[in-house]
């Protein structure tokens, strides 16, 4: 599908096509529909980020909480499952899997949302290291970092659509 085709979609189809970019938060695409047309993919992504930035703290928190824990065995969206598999999280040795689950629990209890990390191009070792380091942050520092990671995840997902701009 091309970007001009995306721009021409009615609201419901636009949301259906782009709603997955921000995990469990199709409201981002829905609000963005009125800002069409988008001249390029970078602008589309920037406008989506702007929508999240303008959202209430409660909406942002719900967006963060919509993401699954990294390495979880629980059901998750196809996009999340593919991203995590690509980083090797489904093939962790039992000891590392247990450590990841323990750190995820500590993180979630401290911050109130799951550890978010754009895993594309990362290894499970880099993910564990980032999780360990970010546990030392304050909630005031970690909340915007979690949102930055969500923006990166959305960018990678948008890139995966391979929208042609002509």
pLDDT (0 to 100) of residue 56: 98
> 3-161 — its CATH code?
1.10.3330.10
Q: Establish whether 67 is a catalytic residue.
A: yes
| Confidence (pTM) | 0.89
pLDDT at 154: 96
Q: Which residues contact 31 (CB under 8 A, 6 or more apart)?
A: 51
For residue range 89-142, what is the model confidence (pLDDT) as tens digits?
667 787 888 899 999 999 999 999 999 999 888 888 899 999 999 999 999 999
Catalytic residue chosen out of the listed positions 51, 63, 67, 100 = 67
- Cα-based angle 43, 9, 66 (whole degrees, multiple of 5): 65
């Amino acid at each position: 599908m091309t970007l001009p085709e995306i721009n021409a979609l009615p609201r419901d189809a636009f949301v259906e096509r782009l709603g997955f970019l921000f995990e469990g938060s199709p409201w981002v695409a829905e609000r963005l529909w009125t800002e069409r047309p988008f001249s390029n993919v970078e602008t589309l992504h920037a406008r989506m980020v702007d929508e999240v930035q303008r959202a209430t703290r409660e909406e942002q928190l719900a967006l963060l909480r919509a993401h699954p824990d990294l390495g979880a065995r629980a059901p998750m969206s196809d996009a999340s499952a593919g991203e995590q598999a690509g980083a090797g999280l489904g093939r962790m040795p039992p000891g590392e899997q247990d450590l990841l689950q323990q750190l995820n629990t500590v993180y979630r209890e401290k911050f109130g949302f799951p550890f978010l990390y754009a895993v594309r191009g990362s290894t499970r070792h880099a993910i564990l290291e980032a999780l360990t380091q970010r546990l030392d942050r304050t909630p005031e520092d970690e909340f915007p970092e979690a949102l930055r990671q969500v923006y990166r995840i959305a960018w990678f997902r948008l890139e995966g659509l391979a929208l042609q701009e002509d």
